[in-house]
Structure 1
Amino acid sequence: MSWTRTGEPVPAGLPGELYIGGAGVARGYLGRPALSAEKFVPDPFAEPGSRMYRTGDSARWQADGDLMILGRTDNQVKVRGYRVEPGEVEAVLRRHPSVSGCLVAVREDRPGDRRLVAYVVAGADAGELRGHLRRALPEYMVPDAFVHLDALPRTRTGKVDPRTLPAPVYGGGDRRVDEPRNFVEAQLIPLWEELLGVRGVGPRESFFDLGGNSFLALRLFTRVNRLLECDLPVATLFAGATLRHMADAILEQKQSSADAPGSVVPLQPNGTLPPVFLVHSADRNVMGYVNLVRHLGPEQPVYGVRDTGEDLARPVARIAEEHVAAIRAVQPHGPYYLASWSFGGIVAFEMAVQLEQAGEEVAFTGLLDTTAPGLMNELGWERDADIVVSLAHDVAVRERRPFRLSAEELEEMELDEQVRVAVQALREQDAAPAEYDAERLGAACRMVQDRTRSYSAYRPGRLSGTLVLFRAEVRTGRQDGFLATRGAEEQHSLGWAPHAAAPVEVHPVPGHHAAITAEPHVRVLANRMRESLESARRRAGWDGPAAEPAGERVIPA
């Protein structure tokens, strides 16, 4: 039945509030007597004690007997299938001691994506306010975004003016974003960003804090399961709502059902361009290329070449021979496109030489700040303390933190003690991740010693194809002092000029040796590498589509 605000029935054709009566009407809301008294009122057309329910919907009877729903008589809104009374959310917000003003509204900044937004004048941050609401309200009534204002905008008559409220930035603009630590995280980031409409998503951020909800979660899992070929249940997100938790769950599922991976692994298998093979650096794996692969773009296929051999100190030529056989199992014939960072650049160079000797074309050999082995042997490591300090500085560089420790401070100590003191210094100067310990630094020292033995007897051949050096602009004092004693060409090409038939193509990249594959310098590296790869493809006669032009921002990060 349709009634007026004063409780009188209205005739057909006129609007009124819709009341529902009958045997199926409940007695009230459990544990909420005040709201029950407001919404469940006596039914004058039924037995004494019967109730009618005030729906809050505006309706009118039509001439044909149908009931037309016109909208709401109150401020109740529908968001993702739930009815929400913004005033109820506002009432809970006002109970927080730091809130002096608030307004909750529904916005639809993207068609079909209705979200609840809280505008607050408060000293507490969004996380604290969100937690305050969750203690009193169901999840669907917690706003997707909080916008802090100095004051609520008002009209000339003093009423709040909702038309002038700014659009929210979901997830906030002051978030501390970590870099992805593996390729699954790197693949998930653009999916989250596109679905949530948020740029700069980090692995440790919560899906729900970024504006996600159960409906978006269903869409996310549908896409993730299809694109990453997994079968995650949606409950995974509710058990741990961060991107990193989702990535770990995917890796765990894949590892439990897969055999041990070979040396060549797909890092970004999609795209129409010829693939690039990124060779491991001094360690065995290729996880250090996560950001580079992201910024090379989705049209560039990339494979990683891991070192699965038992002996890290085996000769460079043998390592290269193993890797050549592995990549030819994936791509039997050239042109080949190879690249690697640091020690791995020596291996990639030898792979290119062996492929040319086998009659194959190598269109691109990219060295990411790799010094030629001849100069490396001359520079050398005079003492263990030099290795320890150098590796500790690399850790600090990757954390973007200053660090002070000299080899002289460690000179009279045994290696284990040097490692312990260096890790302690990293922690005291807040220059290392919390989990970084002496075991990891000690293992890195042994790895460097093994790889030094690996290249010490290596004598590079001569490459006919294009040799491209991406050289870090920032060098240590030890490196600068050594290079200052060399000729201009050796300084320019880091000693590679005698080993290339054509002039070495050199591209400077901002940052330290240990940081060129990390944000933000990796963006410059990726752009210059894309341009160089495009030139190499043209020289090799590639007749497929060109890559999209490289810009300052290749993929949202």
Structure 2
Amino acid sequence: DDQLKIRGMRVEPGEIEAVLLDQPEVRAAAVVADGDRLVGYVVTGDAPVEWRSRLRNRLPEHMIPSAWVTLDALPLTANGKLDRAALPAPERPEPDRHRVPPRDPVEGRLAAVWEDVLGVTAVGVFDDFFDLGGHSLLALRLATRIRREFGRELPVAAVLASPTVAGLADVLRGPEDLAAEQRIVTLNAGGDRPPIFLVHALGGQVFRYLPLARRLGPDQPVYAIAASGLASGEDPHPTMAEMVADYVARLRELRPAGPYVLGGFCIGGNIALETARRLRALGEEVPLVVLFYSDADEPVITSSLEDDASLMTHALAGGPLETDAAEFAGLGPEEMLLAVIEAAGRERRLAPDTADVEQARRYLRVFRANAHAVGRYRHDPYDGDVALFAPVGDRPDLGWRSVVKGTLAIEPIPGERVVVLFEPLVAEAAAKVRSWIDDGVTGG
């Protein structure tokens, strides 16, 4: 009965509270929802604790509260139960007190938008959007607000590539057509190790790779390839061949020579393998392809290829809605789109500002095109080395042994699809990827 839903993901507060109560400083704990974020209430001693860092090894990222309140005691009802209504409202996260204030009108207007979207005050121009509580849905909301405020098209990937007011201001000051060139997003430019290029999954966005990039370390260059069609004026790639040709050209423009490490989650793994095949045919070195829960015969969500309601709910809400699917039956495409947006909004599965219907249409076109391009694609044999993060189960290789003729290393993970890219598993995944790059794969 206490189960919560935060940004479309189910959360059991009791699981988080149990982890908190394992900490030696904690005498009592409670976790509640405050809009689209979790708040942790702890009764501890006087020593301050950075709870996010402490819990990263125990909980996935979506289960770590983004706001914390320290109390002398939890409020209780007359019968001794937690009085949730009496818990004090948490303060919104504030930027560092040594902030640099906006230095011109563009930064000033951007800072005001950030403060409204994030619910903070006094944003500094070098404060990181994600460190202030931002996430992928808020980034989508931020991009929408910037389009309205500045009259400029700004891909959501630009927020990932430039997650500060100063960085986005530089984008907005530049020529208008530059914003659409964020196909390859730099997640970490530093280091002299072989660069890793991570390919988008069905929706075309690349936010899911940020925790992995941060865990791979500052010496590991990491780039993410977003899909075509998310920005105004772009069309999605209709076939795997066109997609791969575009991505190869773009990554070689950024990094003219190998070695290259490729990877991707879900269909991103399928695309990464074919990108590696094309690079090897051009004489480039590709020592490793990393597949994160990718299927060789990727079904993609087969019903999405035929049923518009299923495609819309998966694309805009991440999966089936609690709303009865019969409510969408008989609706035309435009009515159905609006109905799915409204239902997803009610269930907190869609950022409110994605009621920007044109942006939702673009996202659906990309999702549908990717599903068709990859869902019916069949891989030829590949003779390079591949590493696979796959669930423990009856089909541990997810069909890749029939494709990979080089070495295939399999790293078992729990069965839930995206957890490998979030804490705590992403820390172990990053360490494994680094060891594969350094020492090669050993097969299994």
With the length of structure 2 as denominator, give the TM-score of the two structures.
0.58
2:282 paired residue number: 358
1:410 paired residue number: 328
Distance (whole Å) between structure 2 residues aligned to residue 256 and residue 264 of structure 1: 18
Is it true that 1:506 corresponds to 2:395 in the alignment? Answer: no
Shift of residue 538, structure 1, vs aligned partner: 1.7
Q: Secondary structure at the match of 2:262?
A: strand
**Cα gap change, 1:374 to 1:243, in 2 (>3 Å):** closer
Aligned counterpart in structure 2 of residue 426 of structure 1, from 344, 361, 364? 344
Amino acid corresponding to residue 534 of structure 1 in structure 2: S
Is it true that 1:205 corresponds to 2:88 in the alignment? Answer: no
**Cα gap change, 1:506 to 1:418, in 2 (>3 Å):** farther
Distance (whole Å) between structure 2 residues aligned to residue 407 and residue 468 of structure 1: 38
1:120 paired residue number: none
Q: Is the 8 A contact 2:293 2:388 kept in 1?
A: yes
Q: Is the 8 A contact 1:317 1:347 kept in 2?
A: no
Aligned CA-pair RMSD: 4.3
**Cα gap change, 1:443 to 1:306, in 2 (>3 Å):** closer
Shift of residue 501, structure 1, vs aligned partner: 0.5
Amino acid corresponding to residue 513 of structure 1 in structure 2: R
Shift of residue 263, structure 1, vs aligned partner: 3.8
Shift of residue 512, structure 1, vs aligned partner: 4.0
Shift of residue 316, structure 1, vs aligned partner: 1.0
Matches within 5 A, 1:438-453: 439=357, 441-453=360-372
Shift of residue 340, structure 1, vs aligned partner: 1.6
1:254 paired residue number: 170
Distance (whole Å) between structure 1 residues aligned to residue 353 and residue 417 of structure 2: 23
**Cα gap change, 1:170 to 1:372, in 2 (>3 Å):** closer
**Cα gap change, 1:374 to 1:269, in 2 (>3 Å):** closer
Distance (whole Å) between structure 1 residues aligned to residue 349 and residue 185 of structure 2: 32
Distance (whole Å) between structure 2 residues aligned to residue 389 and residue 377 of structure 1: 11
1:303 paired residue number: 223
Aligned counterpart in structure 1 of residue 66 of structure 2, from 177, 199, 209? 177
Is it true that 1:455 corresponds to 2:379 in the alignment? Answer: no
Distance (whole Å) between structure 1 residues aligned to residue 397 and residue 305 of structure 2: 21
Q: Is the 8 A contact 1:312 1:450 kept in 2?
A: yes
Number of paired residues? Answer: 315
Is it true that 1:536 corresponds to 2:437 in the alignment? Answer: yes
What do the CA deviations read for 1:383-411 (whole angstroms, capped 9, x no partner)?
Answer: 22222333355279xxxxxx524545533
Task: Answer 1 or 2: which has greater strand percent.
Answer: 1
Identity across aligned pairs (percent)?
A: 22
Q: Secondary structure at the match of 1:367?
A: strand
In structure 2, list runs of 5 or more residues that go unmatched: 1-41, 56-63, 68-91, 116-120, 133-161
1:166 paired residue number: 46
Distance (whole Å) between structure 1 residues aligned to residue 411 and residue 94 of structure 2: 38
Q: Is the 8 A contact 1:343 1:370 kept in 2?
A: yes
What do the CA deviations read for 1:451-474 (whole angstroms, capped 9, x no partner)?
Answer: 23323563322222222222367x
What do the CA deviations read for 1:467-497 (whole angstroms, capped 9, x no partner)?
Answer: 2222367xxxxxxxxxx9xxx5xx3333322
Q: Is the 8 A contact 2:304 2:311 kept in 1?
A: no
Q: Is the 8 A contact 1:283 1:447 kept in 2?
A: yes
What do the CA deviations read for 1:413-434 (whole angstroms, capped 9, x no partner)?
Answer: 3333333333333333344433
Q: Secondary structure at the match of 1:338?
A: strand
Structure exhibiting the larger radius of gyration computed from Cα positions: 1
Amino acid corresponding to residue 249 of structure 1 in structure 2: V
Shift of residue 449, structure 1, vs aligned partner: 1.7
What do the CA deviations read for 1:129-176 (whole angstroms, capped 9, x no partner)?
Answer: xxxxxxxxxxxxxxxxxxx999xxxxxxxxxxxxxx934458999994
2:242 paired residue number: 318
Q: Secondary structure at the match of 1:435?
A: helix
Amino acid corresponding to residue 177 of structure 1 in structure 2: S
What do the CA deviations read for 1:266-304 (whole angstroms, capped 9, x no partner)?
Answer: 220112422111223334443332222122222221122
**Cα gap change, 1:333 to 1:405, in 2 (>3 Å):** same
Amino acid corresponding to residue 418 of structure 1 in structure 2: M
Distance (whole Å) between structure 2 residues aligned to residue 171 and residue 378 of structure 1: 41
Distance (whole Å) between structure 2 residues aligned to residue 325 and residue 256 of structure 1: 26
1:471 paired residue number: 390
Q: Is the 8 A contact 2:264 2:290 kept in 1?
A: yes
What do the CA deviations read for 1:333-367 (whole angstroms, capped 9, x no partner)?
Answer: 33320112223222211111112222333111112
Q: Secondary structure at the match of 2:280?
A: helix
Q: Is the 8 A contact 1:388 1:422 kept in 2?
A: yes
In structure 1, list runs of 5 or more residues that go unmatched: 1-147, 151-164, 179-203, 226-230, 397-402, 474-483, 541-557
Shift of residue 514, structure 1, vs aligned partner: 5.2
Amino acid corresponding to residue 363 of structure 2 in structure 1: A
Q: Is the 8 A contact 1:352 1:463 kept in 2?
A: no
Shift of residue 500, structure 1, vs aligned partner: 0.5
**Cα gap change, 1:286 to 1:171, in 2 (>3 Å):** closer
